[in-house]
Amino acid sequence: MAYRIIFHVDMNSFYASVEAAYNPNLKGKPIAIAGNPEERKGIIVTSSYEARAKGVKTTMPLWEARKLCPDLIVMRPNFNRYRIASKEMFKILSEVTPYVQPVSIDEGYMDITDCEQKGSPIAIAQALQQKIATQLDLPCSIGIAPNKFLAKMASDMKKPMGITVLRKRDLPVKLWPLPIEEMYGIGKKTAEKLNQIEIFTIKDLAHADPPTLKRLLGINGERLQNRANGIDPSPVDPEAVHDFKSIGSSETLPQDTTDENEIRKLFRHLARNVARRLKRKQAVGRNIQIMIRFHNRKTITRSMKLPEFIEDEEEIFGAGYALFEQHWNGDPVRLLGITIQDIAEKKEIAQQLDLFTYEVDASKEKLYKAIDQLTDKFGKNPFIKLNNPIDDDEPRTSFQKDFLDDYRD
């Protein structure tokens, strides 16, 4: 493969930075975004660098963060605000090159190999960083490298507002000394497995015995070793955002519970989220999976193949709750999730409908059309209860990628 120039653009402390851009009075102050600021079990989603300097970290319990930083300003996440900022950021990236691949709400890859006329890679990165800061009042770090993996590692090396070049010849000095758990693509469990065979740094992985790695990690061992040696042929694919195999939603309960009404209510809410996201993607699914996390953090997942594709809230709720009833042992529940898998786009499947199914679907279609027309007219589904403070159509985490091509509109 010919030499490439890849950027990884990573927004710095994105949610907190967006809040500070929206309200300049917050600039320079320790900010934390937490899911449930008023509740005892709230956890930190992200925090500003001022808060991080006091020891505040992502996933830290709120009480602990407040103990470390008494003047911490805690805010609920505003995903609609973050989504708008993300859209504008990706628009700026797409002005440089059409080869932009969003990977989450606050990061993406760019292939600028054919952008020589716009200046050197560092000059392009500096101009891009400055434009995002000027137009959106948001900081970002940019990694520059010959492939996506190295660009991702480079963007993490200097924050905030860093620009880092990582070439293959730099690996022995810049990459290999890093602890193995700091390598992108290696989680805690994989790191523990690698530690068992005396792999503690990225250099150890780069020089490890390939058959031993394959026995330990399967095909993934070879892929990770290639990356450790600076090899990653994967392209920057603007269409990758459309490659989705599952759509899910999960949520932590305010407190551990065995209350079946509370559990049913949350399942209904999750089913509604998934149904709306399926509708947005014009997709249907044929497999349902639920996740149950108990009070002691033990987590189980259970799935079921369905006789036909589903998309409707009632169908998702019914199948998900039936699975829950089948596998719940009665212990207090901390978190629940529903995921629809085996996804297909509607346009790709020709469903064979019998007369009864057709009549039911046809009768629903008029209702859906009427709701859509009213939604177009008034800007929001008028049948959603006015006293519901949550817009379920908003992305609720950075992992929901349905909206990441909005910048092309």
Beta bridge partners of 163: 142
Is residue 342 a known part of a binding site? no
DSSP secondary structure, 93-142, as one string? HHTT-S-EEEEETTEEEEE-TT-GGG--HHHHHHHHHHHHHHHH---EEE
Chain mean position to CA 128? 23
Residue that the structure tokens 């691949």 belong to: 101
Query: Is 345 an annotated catalytic residue?
Result: no
For β-strands 6-11 and 299-310, DSSP reports them as unpaired
Structure tokens at 234: 């994967």
- Which amino acid makes up residue 146? P
Which residue out of 107, 182, 251, 365 is catalytically annotated?
A: 107
CB 106, CB 79: distance < 8 Å: no
DSSP secondary structure, 193-233, as one string? HHHHTT--BHHHHHTS-HHHHHHHHTHHHHHHHHHHTT---
Dist CA 146 CA 165 (whole Å): 9
Is residue 209 a known part of a binding site? no
Which residue positions form the known binding site for Mg(2+)?
10, 106
Which residue positions form the known binding site?
10, 106
Residues annotated catalytic, as ranges? 107
